[in-house]
Amino acid sequence: MNLLAIESSCDETSAAIMVNGELRSNIVSTQLIHTQWGGVVPELASRAHQKSIIPVVSEALQKANINKNELNAIAFTRGPGLLGALLIGTSFAKALALSLDIPLIEVNHMEAHVLAHFIEDPKPRFPFLCLTVSGGHTQLVWVKSPLEMEVIGETQDDAVGEAFDKTAKLIGLPYPGGPMIDKLAREGNPNRFPFPLGEMPGLDFSFSGIKTSILYFLQKEQKNNPQFIEENKADICASVQKTLIDMLLRKVKKAMKEKNCQQIAIAGGVAANSGLRNGIQELGAQQNWEVLIPAFSYCTDNAGMIAMAGHFKAEAGIFCGQDVSPLPRMAM
């Protein structure tokens, strides 16, 4: 089974080839155009996907040493994501599938983040809990099988990735700020500036309050010392990062207890954060959990994870028709 997978939900154009469940290539083209605007501009994202999709797919085929006529199916991200961006990947997948007369597989981007864990060893055993943290989502997912997932907790407002990116913007770091905060935090004191953790009932999260606390804190300090941000950048990053991670880990602990679970996985772009990776390892060691952390390249958006999710669907005989269209708010 030679599977082509396409990802175009946000600002990465990506294509992957999977052969019988084994990833052979995973090409990711990150759109740099958005940096100058301080965030993803949907219209520009669509145009950049349009421009990159053919070269990216060609490179994925070439690297895997597969001819397009040897493809057996095409998986693509149907949602959630930006409509214009999803339309490029969806239309491309439909057109190619039509011309090759092969079936299509629609994939939910958030399910694919979770299933990225099955690309490489060690793989989780079902059921397990996954904390999925990205630029648009923050979810606690109870994963019963590759095709059965239940969101047992999620953010009621901003995603944790947004909290990273917006904080970065406040302190003058370029978009996407998450990786920059991670880097600066390594040299800072995480206990220097305490921020409130907030209180959300159950297993849900809220990150809009912390964002406002950071804004007010910075405004107050800058009034006393206009150089405050410049002089304390590393400590601010370390303190904000620690607060966001504490908020995540508190709910992870609660969910693991409720589910009486021993395996915790992390997924999504923010799972690339070194503080979160270390924090969950430490908590796991304390609690005697098995902690599953994917390689960096499978945390941020990539078509390898779409291929993995597509592979599970193909195995179960689940395909979709040519009448499929993108779902920007696709639920799990």
Residue ranges in contact with ligand KG4 by CB under 6 A = 10, 134-136, 161, 164-165, 176-179, 182, 268-270, 272-273, 300-301
Smallest distance from ligand KG4 to CB 30, Å: 9
We find the least distance from the C-beta atom of residue 276 to ligand KG4, in angstroms, to be 7
Of ligand KG4, Zn ion, none, which one does residue 2 interact with (CB within 5 to 8 Å by kind)? Answer: none
* Residue 165 is assigned to a ligand binding site: yes
61 contacts: CB under 8 Å, gap ≥ 6: 4, 15, 17, 25, 67, 68
> In angstroms, rounded to a whole number, what is the distance separating the alpha carbons of residues 98 and 197?
51
Is 204 annotated as ligand-binding? Answer: no
Q: Which residues of the chain form contacts with Zn ion (CB under 5 A)?
A: 134, 301
Q: How far is the CB of 301 from Zn ion (least distance, A)?
A: 4
161 binds, among ligand KG4, Zn ion, none (CB under 5 to 8 A by kind): ligand KG4
Tokens representing residue 42 in the block: 């949907």
Our CB check for Zn ion shows the closer of 85 and 218 to be: 85
Q: Is 321 annotated as a binding residue?
A: no
Q: Which is nearer to ligand KG4, 244 or 314 (CB)?
A: 244
Q: Is 134 assigned a ligand-binding role in the annotation?
A: yes
Residue 164 Cβ vs ligand KG4, minimum distance, rounded to whole Å: 5
As measured in angstroms, the least distance from the Cβ of 220 to ligand KG4 is 25
Cite the DSSP H helix spans in 65-187. 83-100, 109-115, 160-170, 178-185
**Helix axes of 228-259 and 178-185: crossing angle, nearest 10 degrees:** 100
Query: CB under 5 to 8 A by kind: which of ligand KG4, Zn ion, none does 111 bind?
Result: none
Nearer to ligand KG4, 66 or 109 (CB): 109
**To the nearest whole angstrom, how small is the minimum distance from the Cβ of residue 39 to ligand KG4?**
10
Based on CB atoms, which residue is closest to ligand KG4, 14 or 263?
14
Partner whose footprint covers residue 298, from ligand KG4, Zn ion, none (CB < 5 to 8 Å by kind): none
Nearer CB in complex with Zn ion: 52/239: 52
Q: Is 311 annotated to bind ligand?
A: no
Q: Considering the complex, state which of residue 108 and residue 134 has its C-beta at the smaller distance from Zn ion.
A: 134
Which residues make up each annotated binding site for Fe cation?
A: 109, 113, 301
Which residues make up each annotated binding site for substrate?
A: 132-136, 165, 178, 182, 273
Which residues make up each annotated binding site?
A: 109, 113, 132-136, 165, 178, 182, 273, 301
